[in-house]
Amino acid sequence: MRRACACVLAAALLAQSSVAHAQANPRSAPIGGRSALMGGTGVALARDGSAPFLNPATILNISDSGLAFSVNFYTFQATDLGSFHQPGAVDTARYGALSLPNTSLDSSRADALPSTLCLFLTIGHWGDNVEQPEPDTGHRKGRRKLAACFGSLERQAFSATASGYSGTSPQGVTAKQAVSIQRSWNRIYVGPSYSVYVTDDIAIGAALDGIGTLASSTWSVDTLVTGARGGTAATAYDTAMSAYSIDLGAMLGVMWRIDDARVFGASVSTPALHLFGHYDGTTALQSSGPGQSPSLATSSGGFSAPPPVRVGLGIGSETRRLRLEGDVGAFLPLTDLAHVDVQGTPNPPAVKSQPAVDAAIGAEYFVSPGFSFLGGASTDFTTLAPLPSAPPVGTLAESRTERVTGSFGIGSYGDGSELLLGLELSYAWGRSIAVDPVVEPTSLALVDQHTWTAMFIIAGSASLSAFRRTLRDLGRVVRIPASK
């Protein structure tokens, strides 16, 4: 409720244009089961749906044509916004020395959505026209692999629907708020990847992706304050928005097998090419305060939200029992993180960016060839520039958080297929915008935000040859009688 209040107020204060939601945590969604359970690593040793997105050269690590999937089967998230209902200074001339109790907004939500889905195809050596197996004989030059992937690389959502607050200060001032908010941010990548060994030890790869960024929100907040010196005060803020940005991006990667155990990987994404985008928003504001008149506005225009450029470096080691990998990723936003171009009304300020560096480490230990334990940890620092202490009216950036994650799980392997189960735990902290309805005129303020997330991961893969064997076996068992 409190957060809804803040967000809705921000939109209402625009009075001419609504608030868009610019997220700035490029690692906010896992992109492969094994990668997620190994702390988000994969620049050097990826062998699942994360390969095309972390380093396309590593798709050659997948030894057979097949299908890989990763499902965030169940996610539980709890968010706390401290002092949301009374986030800042109070207009003492009207409300007195107001001090409301228990003003934090707490919200929790559960979610179940797919993360990545990839089809990997072995296309043989140069000059070959048929698919062929890839025994690891060390003679790799000319091996090629093609992948087609769908992946959700960023996903954030917040919900505080039908929340209510009522608090009375020691001075006898009572504040009541009714808030509903639904907002989401999702960034989806779809496209092909290609990799080839140019020598027995060095592979290069490239990926080309269409990138869709989707943002939507619906906010409603109503505040009633009684017992104040200036009499009863009431405010109502309502807003709704939807926006999308379609961009085109590419990634180049290299993988170098230093020796039989050690592997080095590097990748770099290109600046995104913005193709088109659109933004629609409505805002309404009503207030009983002096000098404030009701307003209603609709806005429509262009929306751009290009992902930052990413440079990744990874070093890994593979032995019969153990896989280890450490990665470093640098994010270099060369443009604004988000920008709205509203027609006929003032544009909200663009979302400014800053560089960020993340690190990840992961391991997989094989108890036997068919069973393993996985674990890892990573950071997810934001590329969003610090929020101002007094957020401007019409700001596009609602919150700014940093995140750390830890993960662990098990893996099962056999007959060309694998299944991985595990848990990823994360904690995010930072600041969020909130509405301060007890000042004249109503303004925006910052409050502390803390989010705890637990995500159960189920992921796996199956080779096309295993599918064919299964269909062949079924054909032997199930006989269709010939028609007479």
CATH code, 49: 2.40.160.60
308 token code pair: 């930052």
User: Is residue 482 domain-resident?
Assistant: no
The Cα 471–Cα 268 span in angstroms is 40
Handedness of CA 11, 14, 16, 17 (dihedral sign): negative
Start-to-end Cα distance in the chain: 70
| For residue 333, pLDDT beyond 50 | yes
pLDDT (tens digit per residue) in 418-453: 889 999 999 999 998 777 777 666 667 788 999 999
The pLDDT value given to residue 228: 77
Q: Do residues 134 and 64 make contact, with C-beta atoms less than 8 angstroms apart?
A: yes
The pLDDT value given to residue 473: 61
313 Cβ partners below 8 Å, 6+ apart? 43, 265, 266, 327, 328, 329
Torsion of CA 27, 28, 30, 31, to 10 degrees: -60
The pLDDT value given to residue 313: 97
The Cα 102–Cα 166 span in angstroms is 9
Handedness of CA 132, 137, 142, 145 (dihedral sign): positive
User: Is residue 467 domain-resident?
Assistant: yes
Average pLDDT score over the chain? 80
Domain count, the chain: 1
Q: Which residues pair with 76 in a beta bridge?
A: 110, 454
**Percent of the chain clearing pLDDT 90 (strictly above):** 33
Burial letters for 362-391: b for 16+ Cβ neighbours within 10 Å, e otherwise? bbbebeeeeebebbbbbbbbbbbbebeeeb
Ranking 213-222, 230-239, 393-402, 466-475 by mean pLDDT, the lowest is 466-475
Enclosing H/E stretch for 358: strand 356-368
The pLDDT value given to residue 68: 65
Q: In terms of Cα–Cα distance, which of 116, 25, 38 is closest to 378?
A: 38
| For residue 125, pLDDT beyond 60 | no
pLDDT classification of 5: cutoffs 50, 70, 90: very low
Highest mean pLDDT among 4-8, 102-106, 401-405, 479-483: 401-405
Residues in the chain, overall count:
484
The pLDDT value given to residue 212: 93
| For residue 274, pLDDT beyond 90 | yes
Mean pLDDT for the stretch of residues 462-468: 63
More confident residue, 196 or 163: 196
Q: Do residues 267 and 56 make contact, with C-beta atoms less than 8 angstroms apart?
A: yes
More confident residue, 231 or 464: 231
44 token code pair: 């050097």
3-state secondary structure of 324: strand
325 Cβ partners below 8 Å, 6+ apart? 38, 41, 42, 43, 44, 45, 314, 315, 316, 317, 361, 362, 363
The pLDDT value given to residue 73: 56
More confident residue, 348 or 466: 348
Q: In terms of Cα–Cα distance, which of 28, 133, 47 is closest to 420?
A: 47
More confident residue, 302 or 468: 302
User: CB burial class (10 A; 0-12, 13-18, 19+) of residue 286?
Assistant: middle
Q: Which residue has the tokens 């803040």?
A: 6
Q: Which domain holds residue 216?
A: 2-477
The Cα 212–Cα 23 span in angstroms is 14
User: Is residue 484 domain-resident?
Assistant: no
The Cα 432–Cα 455 span in angstroms is 23
The pLDDT value given to residue 442: 66
The Cα 259–Cα 317 span in angstroms is 10
Q: In terms of Cα–Cα distance, which of 43, 26, 36, 41 is closest to 68?
A: 36
Q: Which residues pair with 119 in a beta bridge?
A: 67, 148
User: Is residue 78 domain-resident?
Assistant: yes
3-state secondary structure of 466: helix
pLDDT classification of 347: cutoffs 50, 70, 90: low
The Cα 478–Cα 484 span in angstroms is 18
The structure's pTM equals 0.81
| For residue 112, pLDDT beyond 70 | no
Chain centroid to CA 198: 34
